[in-house]
């Protein structure tokens, strides 16, 4: 009986010593295994996170590119066009817009009135304003609208006149008793500034429709005032955009 108890005690002691070490070893192994598993799981999560981020980035970039794909529109900037026309030129005014590569189809005034061929002709990129038309309008700025292959453009023509006004009638002539002296001038865009000499005043003459009329009472009075006078000389001054023209009138005693 004692031998049996001894044997059982020895077995329990054996189990206590060697059995606990085995258990400890198992626990350590299990812990290591658990750590390894956790580490592996972390790697998987990290990999998934990177892949997910890459996909999201790719989708965002794609959406941005798609939103900026707007059709390209070419816009032609047409400058404001301005031209000068001097009636002194005696020629048509040719406006050429070939440098901006446009074709003219129609010319209108700023009020929408279409100009005819007696006023302007159109060929390709050229518009030719007729001299007879430009000479018929007054001085100043005129706005026109050109209908072109790229839309409408505004064109300004500045009309000037530096032609010198002058006396058309003879400057020297015998006086006809008891009649006014009537002289004709070509004035263009000029005007009569006035007459001068021998005490003449604005009451002694008038100017209308390019004609100068000198009162006969004034003329007779000057010849009576100075009997020895053989010629009554009067000066005139015509002004125009280019300057002034000064001339003389010689009225011979009858």
User: How far, in Å, CA of 42 to CA of 50, rounded?
Assistant: 12
Element (H, E) at 147: strand 140-148
pLDDT tens digits for range 168-195:
999 999 999 999 999 999 999 999 999 9
Six token digits for residue 6? 């001894």
On the question of a common fold for 81-160 and 166-252, the answer reads yes
Q: Is the pLDDT of residue 198 over 50?
A: yes
User: How far, in Å, CA of 186 to CA of 179, rounded?
Assistant: 23
Domain at 166-252, CATH from 3.40.50.620, 2.60.40.10, 1.10.30.50, 3.30.365.10: 2.60.40.10
Region of residue 7 (left: phi > 0; alpha: psi -120 to 50; beta: else) = alpha
Six token digits for residue 36? 């390894």
184 contacts 168 by C-beta, under 8 angstroms: yes
Angle CA 52–58–61, to nearest 5: 140
pLDDT confidence bin for 14, thresholds 50/70/90: low
pLDDT tens digits for range 31-54:
333 333 333 333 333 333 333 333
Q: Quick one: 72 exposed, middle or buried, by C-beta within 10 A (0-12, 13-18, 19+)?
A: exposed
215 contacts 232 by C-beta, under 8 angstroms: no
3-state helix, strand, coil in the chain (%, to 5): 35, 35, 30
Q: How many CB atoms lie within 10 A of CB 145?
A: 17
pLDDT tens digits for range 230-254:
999 999 999 999 999 999 999 999 8
Q: How many CB atoms lie within 10 A of CB 75?
A: 6
Six token digits for residue 174? 């015998």
Say which DSSP state 202 is in.
Answer: G
What average pLDDT does range 106-110 have in this prediction?
Answer: 96
What average pLDDT does range 118-132 have in this prediction?
Answer: 97
> Tell me, which fold does domain 81-160 have in CATH?
Immunoglobulin-like (2.60.40)
Residues 6 or more apart whose Cβ sits within 8 Å of residue 49:
none
Short-list 96, 163, 92, 90, CA closest to 126: 96
The model's pTM is: 0.62
The pLDDT > 90 percentage for the chain reads 65
**Dihedral angle over CA of 48, 51, 53, 57, nearest 10:** -160
User: How far, in Å, CA of 127 to CA of 140, rounded?
Assistant: 20
**In the chain, what are the domain boundaries?**
81-160, 166-252
pLDDT tens digits for range 75-87:
445 657 999 999 9
């Amino acid at each position: 009986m004692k031998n049996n108890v001894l044997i059982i005690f020895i077995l329990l002691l054996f189990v206590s010593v060697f059995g606990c070490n085995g258990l400890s070893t198992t626990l350590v192994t299990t812990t290591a295994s658990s750590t390894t598993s956790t580490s592996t799981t972390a790697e998987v999560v990290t990999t998934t996170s990177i892949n997910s981020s890459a996909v999201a980035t790719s989708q965002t970039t794609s959406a941005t590119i798609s939103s900026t794909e707007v059709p390209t529109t070419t816009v032609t900037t047409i400058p404001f066009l301005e031209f000068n026309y001097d009636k002194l030129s005696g020629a048509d005014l040719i406006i050429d817009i070939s440098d901006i590569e446009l074709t003219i189809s129609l010319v209108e005034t700023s009020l929408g009135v279409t100009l005819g061929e007696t006023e302007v002709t159109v060929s390709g990129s050229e518009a030719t304003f007729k001299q007879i038309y430009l000479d018929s309008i007054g001085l100043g700025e005129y706005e026109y609208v050109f209908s072109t292959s790229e839309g409408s453009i505004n064109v300004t023509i500045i009309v000037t006149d530096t032609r010198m006004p002058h006396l058309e009638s003879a400057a020297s002539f015998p006086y006809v008793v008891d009649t006014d002296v009537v002289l004709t001038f070509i004035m263009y865009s000029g005007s009569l500034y006035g007459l001068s000499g021998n005490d003449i005043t604005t009451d002694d003459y008038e100017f209308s429709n390019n004609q100068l009329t000198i009162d006969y009472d004034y003329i007779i009075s000057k010849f009576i005032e100075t009997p020895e006078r053989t010629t009554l000389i009067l000066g005139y001054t015509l002004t125009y955009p280019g300057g002034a023209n000064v001339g003389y009138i010689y009225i011979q005693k009858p």
